[in-house]
Structure 1
Amino acid sequence: MVSSKRNILLIAGTGRNVGKTLFACRLIEKLKCENELVCIKISPHFHELSKELEIISETDNFVIAKETSKTGSKDSNRLFRAGSKKVYYVQAKDDHLTEILSYFEKILSAETPVICESGGLRDLMEPGLFLMINKKDNKNIKTRAIGYGKLADKWIEFNGENFNFTAENISFTNNEWKIKD
């Protein structure tokens, strides 16, 4: 069963380096004075974590860590530097995303604005907004991304510098993400 999470803005992409984190950073920079944002970056790829990350929970199937440094070039550093109040970096196999969602439901209230970078979570919840980002002229779109694209509230193209849809078109009001009319 898919649950509704109106306070979560979910960003997915058609592949790597298509502008997901850059779009999230621009949105955070726009809204940071209005709301205390929390960001969650979820990756299905496991690798050694930097020492700046504070491990919150770890099993053979997932790692949840809190970013503590604004310096550095990792996506979690960039999200923190952009103005997110807290940034969590998660490495999790897709079949354990339910546990990840459950963890964050326990520590974050439904009033907390959350920006989450993950495609797989869309299978488990209906976010306030679901954005799909594609790099312009990308013809090598994963089959799974095409399916998610059909569920997206907005399909956004990135030309390497700018997006065809801007953060100014998004708001967080009444504990819900919305595209402005």
Structure 2
Amino acid sequence: MNNIRKNILLIAGTGRNVGKTLFACQLINNLKCKSNLICIKISPHFHKISDKLELIKETADYVITKEYSKKGNKDSNRLFRAGSKEVYYVQGKDDTLPDILSYFEKVIPPENPIICESGGLRDLIVPGLFLMIDKKNNNQIKSRAIKYKQLADKKIEFNGEKFDFDSNKIAFTENGWLIKN
């Protein structure tokens, strides 16, 4: 696979509610590139889209929206509140990810840092950094997460209160995302 995207930090998890968005928010708080940081949360689960989100693109298979509110408890609110310049919330199944990726490649310059929460996107790209989040003593790991764990640049465990890896060790440079020594 030569679809390398050094500007994308991809976060996946072994399931729901394992700390993916919390880790992303901590990372955003620590970053120096917030002025042009963009967050994209891709969910394969479809629910009613809040009327507080701006509808950017809708097809029969996926929906792309943009968050404008820092108030609220949705993951997109939390990412925006943490300091991301822009936050997009996307609903789409894995087979629509090529179209979703194509859309964002047209509207986001390749030098812009992106934090994207999606497991399935790892099947299409090699990100600058791929983080896999797991909850301590989790015995309900999604089957495809086992494959993603093997591809992860860093596996991070969350015990319900804190992570076993400090987000301060991650940086975005002109060469892309990296873990500092």
Shared fold, TM over 0.5: yes
Give how far 1:115 is off. 0.2
1:76 maps onto 2:110 in alignment: no
Alignment partner, residue 169 of structure 1: 169
Where 1:138 maps in the other structure, the secondary structure is: coil
Give how far 1:96 is off. 0.6
Q: Quick check: 2:40–2:87 contact (8 Å CA) kept in 1?
A: yes
Q: Quick check: 1:135–1:160 contact (8 Å CA) kept in 2?
A: yes
TM-score by length of 1: 0.97
Where 1:28 maps in the other structure, the secondary structure is: helix
Q: Separation in 1 of the partners of 2:6 and 2:51?
A: 33
Alignment partner, residue 23 of structure 2: 23
Read off the aligned partner of 1:136 and give its amino acid letter.
K
Alignment partner, residue 52 of structure 2: 52
Q: Separation in 1 of the partners of 2:93 and 2:118?
A: 12
Q: Percent of aligned pairs with the same residue? A: 68
Alignment partner, residue 38 of structure 2: 38
Where 1:105 maps in the other structure, the secondary structure is: helix
Q: Separation in 1 of the partners of 2:34 and 2:8?
A: 16
Give how far 1:110 is off. 1.2
Alignment partner, residue 90 of structure 1: 90
Q: Quick check: 2:35–2:85 contact (8 Å CA) kept in 1?
A: no
Q: Separation in 2 of the partners of 1:33 and 1:92?
A: 28
Aligned residues: 181
Q: Give CA-to-partner distance per residue, 1:96-142, whole Å, 9 cap, x none.
A: 10000000000111110000000000000000000000000102211
Q: Separation in 2 of the partners of 1:135 and 1:55?
A: 33
Q: Quick check: 1:32–1:84 contact (8 Å CA) kept in 2?
A: no
Alignment partner, residue 146 of structure 2: 146
Q: Separation in 1 of the partners of 2:18 and 2:74?
A: 15
Alignment partner, residue 129 of structure 2: 129
Where 1:149 maps in the other structure, the secondary structure is: helix
5+ long unaligned stretches in structure 2: none
Q: Quick check: 2:28–2:34 contact (8 Å CA) kept in 1?
A: no
Q: Separation in 2 of the partners of 1:31 and 1:63?
A: 28
Read off the aligned partner of 1:138 and give its amino acid letter.
N
TM-score by length of 2: 0.97
Give how far 1:174 is off. 1.0
Q: Quick check: 2:19–2:133 contact (8 Å CA) kept in 1?
A: yes
Where 1:150 maps in the other structure, the secondary structure is: helix
Give how far 1:175 is off. 4.3
CA spacing shift, 1:32–1:76, aligned 2, 3 Å: farther
Q: Separation in 1 of the partners of 2:110 and 2:136?
A: 34
Q: Separation in 2 of the partners of 1:127 and 1:66?
A: 22
Read off the aligned partner of 2:51 and give its amino acid letter.
K
